[in-house]
Amino acid sequence: MKIGNVKWMLNALVFFAVAAISSCAKEYSYEGGPPAIYELDGAPGQCQQSQLFGYFYTGVATDAQDSFQVRVHVSSTGHYNIYTNPVDGIRFSAAGSFQDTGWVSLFLISSGTPDSAGTFPVVIPGLTGCSSSLTVLSKPPSSYYLAGYPNDCQNPQINGPYIAGQAFRSDNTVQVNVTINSPGDYLIKTDTLDGMSFADSGYFSAPGSRVVTLKGTGKPLNPGLIFFTVYSDSSLCNFSIPVQTAIPQAVYVLESGVGDTNYVCTPHVVSGSYVAGVPLNMADSVTIGIYVKTVGNYSVSTNKINGMVFSRSGTFTATGEQHLTLYGSGQPTSSGDFNFKPMIIGPAPLGGNACNFDVIIQ
């Protein structure tokens, strides 16, 4: 065989080997051990279950607090090196080793200094990567705080219907009250929960009080009372969104009797052990009486009190008097006697949409 033919065959083999390696899910891995095999949630399109943390301004260098949280599915453990393409003078990256397979959340730390204001694509390259967007503000940040900080937001206005499985409309918004100390740019946003998030950015032109409308994006996945935290530059507060069940919706009431100061769930049985600082588990529950007129989907939840919530969603398949067990979640922050009010999340045409019970925390 001629030497030229041998060289051609060797070059072809090298080409196909490189092509095969670059097409698999290991393209972000680096040398120093076996590479991990993984794929980002949403690949190769829009990143799912992702969120940008921090505030990005023109001419202000980013730091470790400015990060890009992504969700990764690991098929094989090993080293990884995940990074975004440079955009507007900055990029996000993370390197390390995946010790377990399955879904993990990963923070990519930013570096660099934004060059200009605007909204820019944030792209993790490759077939196993995904993309998001980054907003860079140009003016100095405003000095302001959320009314109600650091507890519940003061008189939040929840707008629009929220139904499990239905995408947001333009009227799915939440209005929060803000006190402005000095003018400037602002960015106010919530965490992402149950497939939903709320945010708004802009410019405060003068000191004083103002109502800011946070625009909703996403689609609620599950019914219930969803508790959001609102973040700004130096303050936060909380509000809840009541997400109704999909149709068919059950028609039912929560049975109650008149107590000393309110309508007591009748009957009700508190089960489990409640100790301040100890997370609740499935054994921590409260069983209440209900009456079902029409079968269908239901959702019942209490508000979050002392770090705890009792809730349950499902489907009633029979009518008449029944017992419903609400399961506790969260972690009690202090000891004492606390009053909880389970409520029907959604329509309650027969009334009887709420009652009360007490839980003693040791």
215-232 pLDDT, tens digit per residue, is: 999 999 999 999 999 999
Question: What are the E-state strand segments in 5-89?
Answer: 37-40, 51-53, 67-76, 78-83
pLDDT above 50: residue 187: yes
Return the CATH fold of 143-243: Immunoglobulin-like (2.60.40)
| Domain boundaries defined on the chain | 24-136, 143-243, 251-361
**Mean per-residue pLDDT, 90-104:** 95
Query: 251-361: which CATH architecture?
Result: Sandwich (2.60)
Residue-level pLDDT at 260 = 67
Residue-level pLDDT at 84 = 96
pLDDT tens, 261-277? 678 999 999 999 999 99
- Cα–Cα distance list, 82 to 48, 50, 209, 305, 344 (Å): 16, 14, 43, 40, 45
| Contact between residue 128 and residue 81 where contact means Cβ atoms under 8 Å apart | no
Residue 32's pLDDT band (boundaries 50, 70, 90)?
Answer: low
User: Which residues on adjacent β-strands are paired with residue 195?
Assistant: none
pLDDT tens, 65-79? 899 999 999 999 999
| Contact between residue 319 and residue 293 where contact means Cβ atoms under 8 Å apart | yes
How far is 159 from 156, CA to CA, in rounded Å? 10
CA angle 344, 345, 347 (to 5 degrees): 80
**DSSP 8-state class, residue 80:** E
Residue-level pLDDT at 20 = 35
Global model pTM greater than 0.85: no
pLDDT tens, 321-354? 999 999 999 999 999 999 999 999 999 999 999 9
pLDDT above 50: residue 317: yes
Handedness of CA 256, 258, 263, 268 (dihedral sign): negative
284 or 19, higher pLDDT: 284
* % of residues, the chain, pLDDT over 90: 80
Candidates 3.20.20, 2.40.160, 2.60.40, 3.30.1330; correct CATH number of 24-136? 2.60.40
Residue-level pLDDT at 193 = 94
27 or 86, higher pLDDT: 86
pLDDT above 60: residue 205: yes
12 or 171, higher pLDDT: 171
pLDDT above 90: residue 140: no
Amino acid at 61: A
Residue-level pLDDT at 57 = 85
Residue-level pLDDT at 233 = 79
Instruction: Based on DSSP, count helices (H) and strands (E) in the chain, helices before strands.
Output: 1, 27
Q: Mean pLDDT score of the chain, rounded to an integer?
A: 89
How far is 127 from 71, CA to CA, in rounded Å? 15
pLDDT tens, 47-66? 998 999 988 888 888 988 89
pLDDT tens, 11-23? 333 333 333 333 3
Residue-level pLDDT at 167 = 93
